[in-house]
Structure 1
Amino acid sequence: MPDDFIHRRATTADALPLSTLAAQVFLDTYATHGINEALAREVATVYSAEVFERRMRDAAVELWMVEAGGYTVGFVDIAFATSCPVPGVRGAEVFRLYVQRPFLRRGLGRALMAKAEASARARGLDAIWLTAWAGNQAALAFYQSLGFRDIGTTEYVIDGVGYENRVLCKTLAG
């Protein structure tokens, strides 16, 4: 990770900036035609500071964040108790990896994913998995460059409408 970035474990005091960053990255990625009621509801419910606080209090979740000059610029949310939608896959879920657009291609995503892998190994797990929107080619290519394999599909539902997500998995070396 570049020297001017600080990465650390998130605390409940970070919930508001993390939720705001998450909403920004979500809308930047998915609201390509503008913001409708469904997307607004999704952001208000799924990306609230209260949701982030709950996740950080959950012993089966770790959130790691990156700061630049005291500002939150990215995070990874790792879940250790979720089930993969593809049967037979066991491991930690990279629930979210979000990096603010101005900080893309600076090694932050790779560093956060390395932290996710280390956290999974520390808990005795030998795989990590995630889901990514099928339309997000940049994210899919990024994960494949890290050694993830596409193992199936699932749906992410927003306001009753399903969106195809790819399920990706990586086996961790000892």
Structure 2
Amino acid sequence: MTGNIKKCTLDDLRALQEISYETFNETFRHHNSPENMYAYLERAFNLKQLEKELSNKHSQFFFAYFNNEVAGYVKVNTDDAQSEKMGDESLEIERIYIKGKFQKHGLGKYLLNKAMNIAVERKKKKIWLGVWEKNENAIAFYHKMGFVRTGAHSFYMGDDEQVDLIMTKTLTE
């Protein structure tokens, strides 16, 4: 794999929005109505929302590059930026998004390892994420990487209630 990682800044706002729209749409449009997809994309990835997330000192975004092109990104959260109350000893991977044409090149593992390194640097004991219950490829990948299902929570795609499985990995020192 020829890639590298760069921490995102506010200068990357439009690129972050673009890749968020593209990857989310590629992954989920076949399972949701166009109206619900549009509603979610507009709420989750509008520039004001992404600027707020990028400005949060407890969240970090990192772009992954493949052959000098932005191929995907990871977003990690600690402390009160976590989307669920998991405590100070946990780090959340809120998003690992990779463009379809760059999947199967090891970028998911690359970004997951970046998140785990951040967790270890910050002396976190657990790393966790939410994954849509119907995203079988992602669930299999996280199982392979040592995550186990520890719960579930609901989220809304427009007006459609859906379920994310919560998966957790305990980190060893």
Q: Same fold (TM over 0.5)?
A: yes
Q: What residue number does 2:40 align with?
A: 42
1:24 to 22, 25, 34: 22
Which SS does the other structure have where 1:31 is aligned?
helix
Q: Specify every segment of 5 or more residues in structure 2 that has no aligned partner in the other structure, as ranges.
A: none
| Contact 1:11–1:56 under 8 Å retained in 2 | yes
Shift of 1:113: 0.5
Shift of 1:89: 9.3
Q: What residue number does 2:112 align with?
A: 113
**In 2 relative to 1, CA 33–79 (structure 1 residues): closer, same or farther, beyond 3 Å?**
closer
Which SS does the other structure have where 1:79 is aligned?
strand
Q: Structure 2 CA distance, aligned partners of 1:149 and 1:112?
A: 18
Q: Structure 1 CA distance, aligned partners of 2:145 and 2:42?
A: 32
**In 2 relative to 1, CA 159–135 (structure 1 residues): closer, same or farther, beyond 3 Å?**
same
Q: Specify every segment of 5 or more residues in structure 1 that has no aligned partner in the other structure, as ranges.
A: none
Q: Deviations over 1:151-171 (max 9, x none)?
A: 111111123321011110001
Q: What residue number does 2:169 align with?
A: 170
Q: Structure 2 CA distance, aligned partners of 1:155 and 1:70?
A: 37
Q: Structure 2 CA distance, aligned partners of 1:150 and 1:111?
A: 22
Shift of 1:139: 0.4
Structure 2 counterpart of 1:71, which letter? E
TM-score (norm 2): 0.90
Q: Deviations over 1:100-125 (max 9, x none)?
A: 11111111110100110111121221
Q: Structure 2 CA distance, aligned partners of 1:34 and 1:152?
A: 23
Shift of 1:49: 2.9
| Contact 2:5–2:64 under 8 Å retained in 1 | yes
**Deviation >6 Å, runs of 4+:** none
**In 2 relative to 1, CA 70–145 (structure 1 residues): closer, same or farther, beyond 3 Å?**
same
Structure 2 counterpart of 1:5, which letter? G
| Contact 1:80–1:91 under 8 Å retained in 2 | yes
The structure where helix makes up a greater share of residues is 2
Shift of 1:33: 5.2
Which SS does the other structure have where 2:30 is aligned?
coil
**In 2 relative to 1, CA 148–89 (structure 1 residues): closer, same or farther, beyond 3 Å?**
farther
Which SS does the other structure have where 2:54 is aligned?
helix
| Contact 2:98–2:107 under 8 Å retained in 1 | yes
| Contact 1:84–1:129 under 8 Å retained in 2 | no
Q: What residue number does 1:99 align with?
A: 98
Q: Structure 2 CA distance, aligned partners of 1:22 and 1:76?
A: 11
| Contact 1:94–1:128 under 8 Å retained in 2 | yes
Q: Structure 2 CA distance, aligned partners of 1:106 and 1:148?
A: 20
Q: What residue number does 1:156 align with?
A: 155
TM-score (norm 1): 0.90
Which SS does the other structure have where 1:102 is aligned?
helix
